[in-house]
């Protein structure tokens, strides 16, 4: 005796409508205030910058190792360029950390947990600077990796 499968009729779902309903549910369940968003952003940025600092140190170490085995004029000039770029990235990271700490201090000192328009503008500027840094760091890392493959 064969078992016959039972097919259930599935209701057709409009994805756009489903997504809209899902997002509205999430928005009501997880609504962050501007204050919470700023605190969240700064915490994430601190972790991100710690990662970039560590990655930058790793790139400098790799450069040192490759420099030990390559001493041609062309390579030395490129190595100096990258060494300077890595040092500049360290300084940029330090500056961003100072800005983040300043923003955190400003936000946390206000017991009303209110984000003013001025604070919001500063936060957006900081977000743009961090975004620029991430993009520029990625570009530099890719250039460096291309250099390394040419000389190893």
What are the domain boundaries of the chain? 32-151
What are the two backbone dihedrals, phi and then psi, of residue 16, each rounded to the nearest 5 degrees? -60, -40
Confidence band for 2, pLDDT divided at 50, 70 and 90 = low
Residues 6+ away with beta carbon under 8 Å from 144: 59, 62, 63, 82
Identify which of 62, 55, 54 has the alpha carbon closest to the alpha carbon of residue 148: 62
Confidence band for 71, pLDDT divided at 50, 70 and 90 = confident
Lowest mean pLDDT among 7-16, 116-125, 139-148: 7-16
pLDDT for the residue numbered 29: 47
Confidence band for 14, pLDDT divided at 50, 70 and 90 = low
Whether the CB-CB separation of 129 and 60 falls below 8 Å is answered with no
Please tell me which residue, 77 or 6, carries the higher pLDDT value: 77
């Amino acid at each position: 005796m064969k078992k016959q499968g039972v097919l259930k009729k599935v209701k057709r779902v409009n994805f756009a409508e489903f997504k809209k309903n899902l997002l509205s549910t999430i928005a009501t369940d997880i609504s962050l205030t501007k204050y919470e968003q700023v605190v969240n952003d700064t915490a994430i940025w601190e972790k991100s910058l710690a990662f970039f600092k560590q990655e930058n140190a790793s790139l400098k170490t790799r450069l040192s190792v490759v420099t030990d085995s390559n001493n041609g004029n062309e390579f030395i000039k490129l190595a100096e360029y990258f060494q300077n770029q890595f040092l500049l990235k360290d300084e940029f990271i330090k500056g961003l950390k100072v800005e983040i700490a300043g923003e955190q201090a400003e936000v946390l000192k206000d017991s009303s947990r209110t984000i003013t328009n001025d604070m919001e503008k500063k936060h957006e500027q900081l977000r743009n600077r961090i975004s620029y840094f991430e993009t520029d760091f990625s570009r530099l890392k890719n250039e460096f990796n291309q250099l390394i493959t040419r000389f190893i």
